[in-house]
Structure 1
């Protein structure tokens, strides 16, 4: 379980780093947009919530299916042995279109979305108590952009994704 715990700690650390930065912003700063097509911090935070919630659910579903002797996804493990940076470089465009399921759609105050994002820490911790290191090779439903991930890669992706958007928030607020 050491590997599982390290992966979950990496996601939680990324989330905490993101929230630390967002906590420095006023509501006005979090709502600020330099251009209509660029997400503000509220939209980024809402997106992170939906994306992480979906990623965690895909892991839970895959784990449950495996325990029932089924597979959520079968096929070629095209990303086997690759780092997340390599997978992203091979599968993402510079300006990627967000899948509808992870798109920001409600808006609202940043305090709400920070709370929602933080709430996923408990969900992820609970998942970690159900996972073993041997479960990390179970395949999950394909990511909408990058394709098939196993559970380890899905957890690695969650941390990567939060850190990627942390960088966007930092750059966004250099403009204010």
Structure 2
């Protein structure tokens, strides 16, 4: 969870001080707002936590090789969001988004602390970019995914400062 904790600290540092209006403003019609990026991160963290929980119980034991999940941060490779993680257009306050993210992060942290490490290594779930990914690797994947979107938040903020 170390990468996840670092990413969350960076995310909060990047958004702290922004107004509710700033986080909900889009740089263009085809780009997400800061709020939408945060909501996407929340939706992904919740979904991955649920997937891991379900697979720990029902998943088959299979050996999968370790994948280069650190490449997730590469923003030159475009990846479409899965439908379940596409954010809404709804106006949400920064405080509300921070509370949602704190709750989803706590859920993943608790799962990481309580799940059997051997079972996390032995079970997997298909990932759209990496193929079968061990449940163990899904946990730091969330952190790398968040780092990717922190860069996107920086791009959105820069667009407004120009």
TM-score bracket for this pair, using the shorter chain length = 0.7 to 0.9
Instruction: After TM superposition, give the deviation of residue 45 of structure 1 in Å.
Output: 0.6
Deviations 1:49-103 (A, max 9, x none): 11111111111111122xxxx52x86x83xx1332135787xx983222110111
The aligned counterpart of 1:85 is: 70
TM-score, structure 1 normalization:
0.78
TM-score norm. by structure 2 comes to: 0.84
Higher strand share: 2
CA contact under 8 A between 1:87 and 1:146: conserved in structure 2? no
Q: Which stretches of structure 1, 4 residues or more, deviate above 6 A after TM superposition?
A: none
Aligned positions, number: 159
TM-superposed deviation, 1:166:
0.6
| Cα shift at 1:124 | 1.8
Please identify, of 129-138 and 149-158, the stretch whose mean Cα deviation from structure 2 is larger. 129-138
Are the counterparts in 2 of residues 33 and 39 from structure 1 also a CA contact under 8 Å? yes
1:4 aligned residue: none
Q: Is the partner of 1:141 in helix, strand or coil?
A: strand
Shift of 1:107: 2.4
Structure 1 gap segments, 5+ residues each: 1-7
Q: Which of 16, 19, 31 is the matching residue for 1:38?
A: 31
Query: Comparing 96-105 with 140-149, which one deviates more in the overlay?
Result: 140-149
Q: Corresponding residue for 1:3?
A: none
CA distance in 2, matches of 1:57, 1:31: 27
Q: CA RMSD in A?
A: 2.4
